[in-house]
Structure 1
Amino acid sequence: MLSTVRDLGAAVRRARREAGFSQQALADRAGVSRQWLSRMEAGKGPSAELGKVLDVLAALGLAVDLVAAPAPDAKDDDPFAGLFEDGP
């Protein structure tokens, strides 16, 4: 469960390491600088707006939980699959 910007940064760091990415490799892949990613992982720097979002969620008794995204072709697991497609 994530309730602070620092929690999110730590979760990103863990996920990056588990994926075998260096900070530079992930930064390149995400289109951000390594310095930005480093600050983000530390829960510092460009987190003001995210911090406000997390504060609002916390005030509501809610938190963010990271889960692995489904594979792009996992339509069977998508509860919204077919809702926006044209009819038969």
Structure 2
Amino acid sequence: MIITTPRELGLAMRDRRKALGLDQVELAKLIGASRRWVIDAESGKSASLPFLLRALRALKMQMKFSADDELPRSTQQTLPAIDLDEVIARARRSTS
């Protein structure tokens, strides 16, 4: 997955946290942060790099960096399709 915005990173972290069966409080405890930090990070707001790296490790995620000209042409401008119906359904299930 190619992530280009803080919001995309936050959504990826949230999806991974949920896939691991963690709630925001549990993740916060694992990395020594507050729940507010997790909420802000998942919404793409400012997040400190040390906590961000701890969160990625706790979520068993990693970041890889490359220059745009090193990427294959097919991935430079292709973003994954988002199924809005699925996003809405997930949001409704999580609030039920």
Gaps of 5+ in 2: 53-64, 77-96
Q: How many residues align?
A: 55
Shift of 1:47: 6.0
Are the equivalent residues in 2 in contact too, given 1:5–1:47 (CA < 8 A)? Answer: no
CA change 1:47–1:4 in 2 (3 A) is farther
Identity score, percent:
38
Gaps of 5+ in 1: 51-56, 64-88
SS of structure 1 residue aligned to 2:22: coil
Deviation readout 1:35-77 (Å, 9 max, x if unpaired): 01100000013369x9xxxxxx79x4268xxxxxxxxxxxxxx
- Runs of at least 4 residues of structure 1 off by over 6 A? none
Between structures 1 and 2, the one with greater helix share: 2
- 1:2 alignment counterpart: 3
Are the equivalent residues in 2 in contact too, given 1:16–1:26 (CA < 8 A)? Answer: yes
Aligned pairs (5 A) from 1:46-65: 46=47, 60-61=67-68
TM-score using structure 2 length: 0.49
The answer to which structure, 1 or 2, has the higher relative contact order (CA under 8 A, 6+ apart) is 1
The structure having more radius of gyration, on CA atoms, is: 1
CA RMSD across the alignment: 2.7
TM-score using structure 1 length: 0.53
